[in-house]
Amino acid sequence: MENRNDKYEEILRKREIRPTAMRILILKTMMDSAEMVSILDLENKLETAEKSTIFRTISLFMMHNLVHCIDDGSGSLKYAVCNTDCSCSVKELHAHFHCEKCDKTFCLKSTPVPVIALPDKFVLNNINYVLKGVCDKCSNKQ
Amino acid sequence: MENRNDKYEEILRKREIRPTAMRILILKTMMDSAEMVSILDLENKLETAEKSTIFRTISLFMMHNLVHCIDDGSGSLKYAVCNTDCSCSVKELHAHFHCEKCDKTFCLKSTPVPVIALPDKFVLNNINYVLKGVCDKCSNKQ
DNA sequence: ATGAGTTTGCAACAAAGTTGCATAAATCAG
DNA sequence: CTGATTTATGCAACTTTGTTGCAAACTCAT
């Protein structure tokens, strides 16, 4: 019988990350989440995992372009798993939405970040594009 | 003889902020700076001012739309004085550039932030648009 | 099974932001 | 101008998030 963790193991291997139990668990938890997660979110979802372990695991994931990170202004960084084969180049980046009511942050995966022209001699490496306001669920609650 | 602080006093009064010596000093320092400043930057430039005072002064300035704030991902928030009459609506927002070498952040005042369409029921209040890379001065230093 | 290398948990620390409270400064009424 | 009241500031302590050192636990090839 095929193990259902095979999927996550394969994802990790493709990114040249050794698939330990903890890494599989963290990856699975991130992929199961509809919104982006902070380190504290992961700590709460995974009672078994230490803050420092999560921090180092996510740092590793980011170095291998498996997850991306955005600063939504909430005070903690939020992370989400990238698309398959994503290499986090400017052209591949998408917009993010941060709800000021529920404090959740979502990837708007189908919305590429707008790229503008920079003054001469400026080199562009990355873009943080965060729309802030109220999400659909919170705006329905009056 | 006219006091050269009159300019700053008037700016503060227009925003309905009582112009104390400390507030004038902080406003002047921010307006004299070519790049955005963090609270720590202000603490260093003004040896006489306390972190908590700067924090409360800037919070006050922001409530009155005199300064705006962006999260450039450096770990500390950066502040800059808004244009006259700015009310910080989405249409008035501009892009920002953060240099990953010198860690400075600049307002690109002539570049309005791109606004994209949001899914139904989402309310847009604010946008954080930060381009990251290497600034002109740092890219010249190779 | 054994040992080298890697990963994890614990603890401690660092940096930025935030708050309570006492003193200092500014404002106002008389 | 003087004193009373309000407001602003400085100091200290604290919170939260992120980060690192080190020892124990785990992994994997032999």
B81-101 pLDDT per residue, tens: 999 999 999 999 999 999 999
Residues 15-34 of B with CB under 7 A from strand D: 18, 20-23
Q: Contact A124/B133, CB-based, under 8 Å?
A: yes
Q: Contact A125/B135, CB-based, under 8 Å?
A: no
Q: From A128, A120, A111, select the one nearest A77 (Cα to Cα).
A: A128
- How is residue A131 written in tokens? 């729309």
- Hey, what CATH topology would domain B6-140 get? Arc Repressor Mutant, subunit A (1.10.10)
| pLDDT by position in tens, chain A (length 142) | 346 778 999 999 999 999 999 999 999 999 999 999 999 999 999 988 999 999 999 999 999 999 999 999 898 999 999 999 999 999 999 999 999 999 999 999 999 999 999 999 999 999 999 999 999 999 987 6
Tally Cβ neighbours within 10 Å of residue B40. Answer: 11
Give whole-number Cα distances, B110 to A99, B33, B113, B127, B132, in Å. 28, 18, 10, 16, 17
Tally Cβ neighbours within 10 Å of residue A118. Answer: 17
How confident is residue B140, by pLDDT bands cut at 50, 70 and 90? Answer: confident
A48 is near strand D: CB distance < 7 Å:
no
pLDDT tens by residue, B25-63: 999 999 999 999 999 999 999 988 999 999 999 999 999
